[in-house]
């Protein structure tokens, strides 16, 4: 691998995304992408007693699914990179504790999936691993309870609020394979523009997406038109509009080939999801379910995936802190 | 780099630990290692309004100190790897948001420091980075409040309980330098032996330390006597005894050259710290303050550093879950 410009790493023998898997909750299963997921659950508990245990089961079964689909024996997967939104990332550690694969816990809030792909691909490209597993999860109920209000309160959500996706996405990367390849990674910096509204994550995260987008294009010398599609994680309707405008003001025209997973995963009018989807599983399931299949079927051949995260907790907001954002970008090409 | 055995990566051009820094709280400043730390604070707040903000300030100033001491300009540090115990790792993200260095959030509970060193060294050895920054923090007050009881309650602590270290440790790794070198890494698996007592973390984490220790020796073909010292992160008095016994039962004699940072950092008799220190900063400050200087002065030349973490939160215990452990090992040699 070699460094390109300020923040980007370019791979000489780019790792292949061998396989992906995704399991989603009932609301996602009623959304426009339902047919692309491996499994849509009928309820939020999946037979478990708590939402947290359900989330652990979802990531566990998603990982089992991706390993099964890949045909790679578990003992040939060298390292696992995973994380989630729950305090101390317990969804991942409880869900994956029986895996018997060396485990790197990762926390990038909703950018965790792409952060894991960055790490997993660097290990492969550097010959530290042949196969790596990257996974993440989120759950609407466990996230609402932890970050906002008890669900039982029936709290009203402002129009700028987003809906945490219930689900898990997982991918297996390999030194061996014929693509789609992870060709470059542009890990992001923490960007804090002083936004304090925890019900407007799109606005808090859009500046970090802009930063990583500009850095990626400057580092690689590419232009937005190089990609069939540029995809952000969970900026939602508000954040997507902000990023489109900000990008244009900086000379990067993305309006023709830009999509956001938070906009794609729900039907805003019918599903009452306000500004769109969010959570680690938003880009995790939308990429693993939808975009990966588009890449494999060569309906698209070049994608820039920018996952955004809001690096806060409920106490930091209570203590008057703003909401720093981060965005990690990777390019995936056939 | 190349893979050795099941879980270990061996480096061909091992990264140098160029510099370390450590800042600790008042209790650590009264302990036996006080003279080795860069700074010992006079109180737990350091002029901030909350313990969480104080912890952020501690990691921020520790990172500023290590960068200053290293003589490497900040813009030449390619990536930062950091994490902590607070929900959503806010100590690291708020403390390091002004750094302007691409940021990988890491969560391995008290194993976070060595997890970061693993990742930072793989990036360097793979030519994805020239210099990387690894950091972690913990704070007795913010940790007690989050994981156990409000401090104001004055709750009695059982003898098996450990005392979370207030402080931060940071290291800069580089492709350029004359050692001490990170020569191998053995990232650990999640090990859950069913321990449920959140006041006995040493017992919960010892099996994961044993696993990584055995795997490291099997993968490398080394024996415990190869190292001048084998160091665990925060098993404390109880966990240290368990690991010593378990290791012996598996044929690895470590009693002559084995130390635990949780045992070293406090004076048990005078400081009322029961089973010893714990927290991300326990190994973070003890390595950065004490062992790194021993390495640099060639008082020791070969060290195996095994950081242990308990992958739980307060809710998982309330929901009846056990406490999975993880341990990441690295060897550092002159």
pLDDT for A81 equals 98
Q: What is the DSSP letter of A108?
A: B
Question: Which of B97, B104, B189 is closest, CB to CB, to A115?
Answer: B104
Task: Write out chain A residues lying below 8 Å of B108, CB-based.
Answer: 104-105
What is the ipTM for the molecules in this complex?
0.98
Q: Give the mean model confidence (pLDDT) for residues A200-206.
A: 95
Residues B175-225: pLDDT tens digits? Answer: 999 999 999 999 999 999 999 998 999 999 999 999 999 999 999 999 999
Q: Residue A194's CB: how many other CB atoms inside 10 A?
A: 9
Residues B283-318: pLDDT tens digits? Answer: 999 999 999 999 999 999 999 999 999 999 999 999
- Whether residue B212 contacts residue B190, with contact meaning beta carbons closer than 8 Å, is answered with no
Task: Write out chain A residues lying below 8 Å of B96, CB-based.
Answer: 190
Q: What is the DSSP letter of A81?
A: E
Q: Give the mean model confidence (pLDDT) for residues A217-230.
A: 98
Q: What distances in angstroms separate CA A231 from CA A213, A257, B87, one per listed residue? A: 11, 9, 28
Cis peptide before A289 (omega within 30 of 0): no
| A104 to B106: CB separation less than 8 angstroms, yes or no | yes
| A93 to B128: CB separation less than 8 angstroms, yes or no | no
pLDDT for B296 equals 97
**Residue A50 near chain B (CB below 8 Å):** yes
- The sign of the CA dihedral B101, B103, B109, B111 is negative
Residue A33 Cα, gap to closest chain B Cα (Å): 29
Residues B6-37: pLDDT tens digits? Answer: 999 999 999 999 999 999 999 999 999 999 99
Which residues make up the CATH 3.40.47.40 domain(s) of chain B? 2-174, 181-333
pLDDT for A55 equals 98
| A86: three-class secondary structure by DSSP | coil
Q: Give the mean model confidence (pLDDT) for residues A188-206.
A: 95
Residue in chain A closest to B4 (alpha carbons) equals A128
| A112: three-class secondary structure by DSSP | helix
Residue in chain A closest to B56 (alpha carbons) equals A316
- Measured between its terminal Cα atoms, the distance across chain A in Å is 18
pLDDT for B223 equals 98
Interface of A with B in 299-328 (CB under 8 A): 311-316, 319, 321, 324, 326
Q: Give the mean model confidence (pLDDT) for residues A146-152.
A: 93
pLDDT for B112 equals 98
Task: Write out chain B residues lying below 8 Å of A102, CB-based.
Answer: 7, 187-189
d(CA B66, CA B59): 11
CATH number of A2-174: 3.40.47.40
Residue in chain A closest to B94 (alpha carbons) equals A324
Q: What is the DSSP letter of A226?
A: G
d(CA B244, CA A4): 47
| B321 to A94: CB separation less than 8 angstroms, yes or no | yes
Strand partners, B229: B303
- The sign of the CA dihedral A233, A236, A239, A240 is positive
Q: What is the DSSP letter of A15?
A: P
Name the class of domain A181-333: alpha beta
pLDDT for B298 equals 98
Q: Give the mean model confidence (pLDDT) for residues A119-135.
A: 98
Residues A72-94: pLDDT tens digits? Answer: 999 999 999 999 999 999 999 99
pLDDT for A40 equals 98
d(CA B185, CA B196): 29
| B107 to A49: CB separation less than 8 angstroms, yes or no | no
| B109 to A96: CB separation less than 8 angstroms, yes or no | no
Q: Two tokens at B87?
A: 């929900």
Q: Label residue B108 exposed, middle or buried (CB < 10 Å: 0-12, 13-18, 19+).
A: buried
The closest alpha carbon to B118, from A282, A128, A328, belongs to: A128
Task: Write out chain B residues lying below 8 Å of A94, CB-based.
Answer: 311, 316, 321, 324
pLDDT for A5 equals 95
**Residue A4 near chain B (CB below 8 Å):** no
Residues B234-284: pLDDT tens digits? Answer: 999 999 999 999 999 999 999 999 999 999 999 999 999 999 999 999 999
DSSP H helices, chain A, are: 26-29, 51-70, 90-95, 112-125, 140-147, 201-220, 236-249, 261-264, 268-271, 280-285, 292-296, 314-318
Residues A11-29: pLDDT tens digits? Answer: 999 999 999 999 999 999 9
Question: Which of B50, B102, B321 is closest, CB to CB, to A189?
Answer: B102
Interface of B with A in 156-185 (CB under 8 A): none
- Whether residue B83 contacts residue B108, with contact meaning beta carbons closer than 8 Å, is answered with yes
pLDDT for B232 equals 98
pLDDT for B218 equals 98
The closest alpha carbon to B126, from A189, A15, A27, A136, belongs to: A15
Residues A271-294: pLDDT tens digits? Answer: 999 999 999 999 999 999 999 999
Q: Residue A307's CB: how many other CB atoms inside 10 A?
A: 35
Interface A–B counts its CB contacts (< 8 A) at: 184
pLDDT for B83 equals 98
Q: What distances in angstroms separate CA A301 from CA A180, A295, B25, one per listed residue? A: 8, 6, 53
Q: Residue A175's CB: how many other CB atoms inside 10 A?
A: 18
Residues A233-250: pLDDT tens digits? Answer: 999 999 999 999 999 999
pLDDT for A265 equals 98
pLDDT exceeding 90 applies to what percent of chain A? 98
Interface of A with B in 92-111 (CB under 8 A): 93-94, 96-97, 99-109
Q: Two tokens at B116?
A: 């970061």
The closest alpha carbon to A308, from A252, A247, A261, belongs to: A261
Residue B27 Cα, gap to closest chain A Cα (Å): 26
Q: Which three-class secondary structure string do you get for chain B?
A: CEEECCCEEECCCCCEEEEEEEEECHHHHCCCCHHHCCEECCCCCCCCCCHHHHHHHHHHHHHHHHHHHHCCCHHHCCEEEEEECCHHHHHHHHHCCCCCCCEEEECECECHHHHHHHHHHHHHHCCCCCEEEEEEEECHHHHHHHHCCCHHHCCCCCCCCCEECCEEEEEEEECCCCCCEEEEEECCCCECCCCCCCCCHHHHHHHHHHHHHHHHHHHHCCCHHHCCEEEECCCHHHHHHHHHHHHHHCCCCCCCCEEEHHHHCCCHHHHCCCCCEECHHHHHHHHHHHHHHHHHCCCCCEEEEEEEEECCCHHHHHCCCCCCEEEEEEEEEC
Residue in chain A closest to B187 (alpha carbons) equals A102
| A88 to B52: CB separation less than 8 angstroms, yes or no | no
Tell me the pLDDT of chain A averaged across its residues: 97
């Amino acid at each position: 691998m070699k460094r390109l410009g300020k923040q980007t790493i370019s791979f000489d023998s780019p790792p292949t995304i061998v396989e992906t898997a995704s399991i989603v909750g009932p609301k996602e299963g009623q959304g426009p992408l339902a047919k692309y997921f491996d499994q849509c659950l009928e309820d939020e508990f999946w037979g478990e007693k708590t939402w947290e245990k359900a989330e652990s089961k979802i990531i566990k079964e998603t990982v089992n699914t991706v390993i099964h689909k890949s045909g790679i024996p578990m003992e040939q997967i060298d390292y696992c990179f995973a994380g989630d939104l729950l305090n101390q990332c317990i969804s991942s550690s409880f869900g994956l504790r029986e895996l018997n694969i060396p485990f790197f816990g990762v926390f990038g809030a909703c950018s965790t999936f792409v952060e894991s792909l960055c790490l997993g691909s660097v290990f492969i490209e550097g010959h530290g691993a042949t196969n790596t597993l990257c996974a993440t999860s989120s759950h609407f109920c466990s996230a609402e309870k932890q970050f906002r209000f008890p669900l039982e309160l029936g709290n009203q959500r402002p129009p700028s609020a987003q809906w945490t996706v219930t689900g898990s996405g997982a991918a297996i990367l390999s030194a061996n394979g014929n693509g789609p390849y992870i060709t470059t990674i542009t890990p992001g910096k923490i960007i804090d523009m002083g936004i304090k509204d925890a019900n407007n994550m799109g606005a808090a995260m859009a500046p970090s997406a802009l930063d990583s987008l500009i850095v990626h294009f400057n580092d690689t010398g590419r232009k937005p038109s190089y990609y069939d599609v540029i995809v952000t994680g969970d900026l939602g309707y508000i954040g997507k509009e902000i990023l489109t405008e900000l990008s244009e003001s900086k000379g990067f025209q993305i309006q023709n080939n830009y999509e956001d997973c938070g906009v794609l995963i729900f039907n805003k009018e019918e599903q009452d999801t306000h500004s769109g989807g969010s959570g680690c599983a938003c880009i995790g399931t939308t990429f693993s379910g939808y975009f990966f299949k588009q890449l494999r079927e060569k309906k698209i051949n070049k994608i820039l995936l920018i996952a955004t995260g809001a690096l806060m907790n409920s106490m930091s907001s209570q203590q008057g802190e703003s909401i720093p954002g981060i965005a990690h970008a990777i390019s995936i090409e056939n």
